[in-house]
């Protein structure tokens, strides 16, 4: 793949593409960015617990952490993000982003060592008053947050330049669970460190920022990848700001995506600030249960991100966004109504799972639709708007002492709003569907199963004609082949012909009845199924057949059956060859249906046999038609084998 920097019609620079994109697991630059982010998140979590320990235990001499001080500390971290996010976005478009990330990490490391050492010495030695300690603590936190804000849009803007566009969703899905896992580890490690030796916890915090900077330094970016676009050179800060505002005024879609991220951050902040009161005051449990609650909620986010990492670019928007928001709202409502601490944690995990899926989906969408020359400023606006949501949920709990009694009602309110918004998004998405709503919902359910459990992807466009009868000739090398074929057509519903016995199985039979499959008996000439097929085709529908006549035990391509050729000649319908490649050939047992695999589906060009008369159905003619179908599928098989061959070395 040899692609360089492209330009739009207006002369603006598009996203620079590397000449070669290795797979994510071997992409050096992506892995180093991944490591930098993970280590930086670890430092942030250790840093947060150090700050909390300094504030509540050392300075204020309290016995436990409460929601108000928890929220006050978050507020000091969020304010710089809100006030300086547009400036940080402009800087990310004008200065090489790698240089910004290195400078911010090293600056944070130095500041952590100096400020926290002075704080600890002043608090333990009692040579600083409490107001002085508070000013130093919150002031240094604001400065650290400024560097964090400069780092954030630079990292988000450089990521799409390091991976293949089709792997961007998977790249984000790997980074987000890593952040959550490291957050979990950070809370555990940080909690252990601050209770053992607060000074050592501070130095570990500083070391993480140094390691993060080292990862970014080790990146080997080809020339031109991290160079400011020509459209941004020589402009004043004011001109860059006006250009960004003008872009967002002309393109409303990024603002719509950012508004969804605003909702996610508002909800997550409310839950985070509410956890101390929910655990301590509602269920009368101690700090250990609070940390367990944070950790298990993080596991829910990990589960959602890992499920999405199987999807790559194939999760539809109504699933990744609409239905995820619905289920997020349901999880919050049930968590607010939970009668016990385990039940509350369970439903918070459900809400966190679907919230993670929604956030990764919309964040990837934003990175895809915004060009590189504008991406830093748009990411800066995203940080500003989402931070506004964080502050909106944090200020009342930080400044109003009695807010802890309202946390359950606030969670109820957020759950209800999420549920209503999700229903509205689902309705909006399905209004634009080419298929009837019932069929579209069924296909989306099948798609989620295939993507998550079988790693399904369609390679290339769907080649089914927009109207008229169509016959799909597909191989049958795995049990998941029928569902892969069923979900491959976005605009026309495929009626499948399947063996009669499968309709009587419990789960597969239910799925096939949902898919309106046509039963066929395993006999050489099943007149009833032939008549049913002709009725479907004469009604202008799409009929899916399996040319093998049954599942190939070894996953090999079998000769096409003469029944397909006869149907093509009698109905005058074009035949579209399809090949399903599975990394796991057919195996016996129901467990094979649920086994993780990798399914790829390929469409070929439609074959038309209108030059043959409908009554020419002698054996030679049928063999000629079946041979052409077999030849087209053999070519697709060769293409699939070449595209799925293991990499050398």
What is the set of domains in the chain, with CATH numbers? 24-223+237-431 (1.20.1250.20), 437-643 (3.40.1130.10)
Instruction: Give the DSSP letter string of 457-502.
Output: EEES-----SSS-EEEEE---STTHHHHHHTS-SSSPEEEEEEGGG
pLDDT for the residue numbered 649: 33
Q: Is 11 left (phi over 0), alpha (psi -120 to 50) or beta?
A: left
> Nearest-5° angle of CA 104, CA 88, CA 230?
105
Q: Which residues contact 223 (CB under 8 A, 6 or more apart)?
A: none
Bridge partners of 494, per DSSP, are 542
Per-residue CA distances from 146 to 84, 108, 151, 188, 385 (Å): 7, 10, 9, 26, 16
Measured CA to CA, the distance from residue 442 to residue 138 in angstroms comes to 53
C-beta separation of 385 from 257 below 8 A: no
Helix axes 28-52, 198-217, angle to 10 degrees: 160
C-beta separation of 92 from 374 below 8 A: no
In 498-618, which residue ranges form alpha helices assigned H by DSSP?
507-514, 527-538, 562-571, 591-594
Per-residue CA distances from 306 to 310, 314, 452, 500 (Å): 7, 14, 9, 37
Measured CA to CA, the distance from residue 470 to residue 604 in angstroms comes to 13
Bridge partners of 576, per DSSP, are 472
Q: Give the number of other Cβ atoms within 10 Å of residue 537's Cβ.
A: 22
Q: Residues of the chain whose pLDDT is less than 70?
A: 1-20, 55-76, 123-126, 180, 231-234, 311-315, 394, 397-404, 432, 500-512, 515, 521-526, 548-556, 558, 583-597, 614-617, 643-649
If residue 575 lies in a helix (H) or strand (E), which one and from where to where? strand 575-582
Measured CA to CA, the distance from residue 143 to residue 173 in angstroms comes to 30
Q: Give the number of other Cβ atoms within 10 Å of residue 410's Cβ.
A: 18
Exposed (0-12), middle (13-18) or buried (19+): which is 639, by Cβ within 10 Å? middle
Order across the sheet with 457-459: list the strands: 457-459, 599-603, 575-582, 470-474, 542-546, 494-499, 518-520
pLDDT for the residue numbered 334: 93
Q: pTM (2 decimals)?
A: 0.69
pLDDT for the residue numbered 600: 87
Q: Give the number of other Cβ atoms within 10 Å of residue 210's Cβ.
A: 15
Pairing of strands 494-499, 542-546: parallel
C-beta separation of 163 from 21 below 8 A: yes
Measured CA to CA, the distance from residue 387 to residue 85 in angstroms comes to 9
Measured CA to CA, the distance from residue 558 to residue 634 in angstroms comes to 10
Q: Is 217 left (phi over 0), alpha (psi -120 to 50) or beta?
A: alpha
The whole-angstrom distance between residue 51's C-alpha and the CA centroid of its chain comes to 32
Per-residue CA distances from 15 to 66, 157, 173 (Å): 46, 10, 20
Structure tokens at 566: 């006869």
pLDDT digits (tens, 9 = 90+) for 152-178: 888 888 888 888 877 888 888 888 777
Helix axes 372-399, 237-250, angle to 10 degrees: 90
pLDDT for the residue numbered 594: 52
Measured CA to CA, the distance from residue 242 to residue 237 in angstroms comes to 9
The whole-angstrom distance between residue 212's C-alpha and the CA centroid of its chain comes to 24
3-state secondary structure of 292: helix
C-alpha torsion angle, residues 366, 367, 368, 374 (rounded to 10): 100
């Amino acid at each position: 793949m040899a692609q360089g920097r492209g330009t739009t019609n207006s002369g603006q620079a598009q996203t620079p593409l590397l000449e070669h994109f290795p797979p994510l697991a071997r992409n050096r630059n992506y892995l180093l960015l991944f490591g930098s982010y993970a280590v930086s998140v670890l430092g942030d979590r250790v840093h947060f617990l150090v700050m909390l320990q300094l504030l509540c235990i050392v300075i204020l001499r309290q016995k436990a952490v409460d929601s108000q001080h928890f929220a006050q500390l978050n507020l000091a971290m969020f304010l710089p993000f809100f006030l300086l996010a547009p400036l940080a976005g402009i800087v990310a478009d004008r200065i090489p982003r790698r240089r910004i990330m290195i400078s911010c990490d090293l600056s944070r490391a130095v500041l952590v060592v100096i400020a926290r050492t002075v704080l600890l010495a002043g608090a333990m030695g009692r040579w600083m008053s409490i107001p002085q300690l508070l000013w130093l603590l919150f002031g240094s936190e604001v400065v650290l947050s400024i560097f964090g804000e400069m780092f954030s849009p630079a990292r988000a803007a450089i990521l799409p330049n390091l991976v293949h566009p089709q792997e961007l969703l998977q790249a984000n899905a790997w980074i987000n669970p890593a952040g959550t896992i490291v957050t979990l580890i950070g809370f555990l490690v940080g909690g252990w460190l601050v209770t053992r030796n607060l000074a050592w916890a501070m130095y570990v915090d500083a070391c993480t920022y140094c390691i993060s900077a080292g990862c970014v330094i080790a990146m080997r970016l080809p020339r031109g990848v991290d160079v400011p676009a020509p459209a941004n050179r020589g402009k004043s800060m004011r001109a860059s700001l006006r250009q960004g505002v003008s872009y967002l005024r002309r393109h409303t879609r990024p603002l719509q995506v950012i508004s969804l991220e605003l909702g996610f951050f508002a909800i997550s902040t409310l839950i985070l600030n509410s956890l101390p009161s929910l655990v301590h005051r509602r269920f009368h449990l101690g700090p250990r249960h609070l940390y367990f609650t944070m950790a298990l909620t993080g596991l829910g986010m990990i589960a959602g991100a890992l499920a999405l990492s199987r999807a790559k670019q194939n999760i539809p928007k109504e699933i990744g966004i609409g239905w995820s928001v619905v289920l997020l709202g349901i999880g919050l409502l049930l968590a607010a109504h939970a009668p016990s601490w385990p039940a509350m944690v369970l439903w918070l995990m459900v809400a966190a799972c679907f919230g993670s899926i929604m956030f990764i989906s919309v964040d990837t969408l934003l990175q895809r639709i915004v060009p590189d020359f504008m991406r830093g400023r748009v990411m800066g606006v995203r940080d500003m708007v989402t931070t506004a949501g964080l502050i909106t949920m944090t200020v009342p709990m930080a400044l109003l002492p009695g807010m802890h009694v309202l946390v359950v009602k606030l969670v109820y309110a957020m759950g209800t709003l999420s549920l209503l918004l999700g229903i509205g998004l689902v309705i909006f998405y399905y209004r634009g569907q080419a298929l009837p709503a019932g069929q579209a919902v069924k296909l989306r359910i099948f798609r989620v199963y295939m993507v998550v459990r079988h790693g399904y992807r369609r390679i290339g466009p769907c080649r089914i004609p927009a109207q008229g009868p169509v016959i799909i000739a597909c191989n049958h090398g795995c049990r998941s082949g029928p569902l892969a074929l069923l979900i491959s057509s976005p605009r026309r519903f495929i009626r499948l012909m399947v063996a009669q016995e499968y309709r009587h199985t419990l789960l597969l039979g239910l799925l096939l009845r949902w898919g309106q499959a046509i039963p066929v008996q395993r006999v050489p000439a099943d007149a009833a199924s032939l008549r049913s097929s002709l009725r479907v085709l004469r009604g202008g529908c799409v009929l899916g057949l399996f040319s093998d006549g049954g599942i190939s035990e070894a996953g090999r391509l079998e000769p096409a059956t003469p029944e397909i050729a006869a149907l093509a000649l009698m109905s005058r319908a074009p035949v579209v060859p399809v090949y399903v490649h599975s990394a796991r050939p057919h195996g016996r047992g129901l467990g094979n249906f649920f086994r993780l695999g990798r399914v790829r589906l390929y469409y070929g060009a439609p074959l038309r046999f209108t030059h043959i008369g409908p009554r020419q159905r002698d054996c030679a003619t049928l063999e000629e038609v079946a041979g052409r179908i077999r030849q087209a599928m053999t070519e697709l098989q060769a293409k699939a084998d070449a595209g799925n061959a293991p990499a050398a070395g």
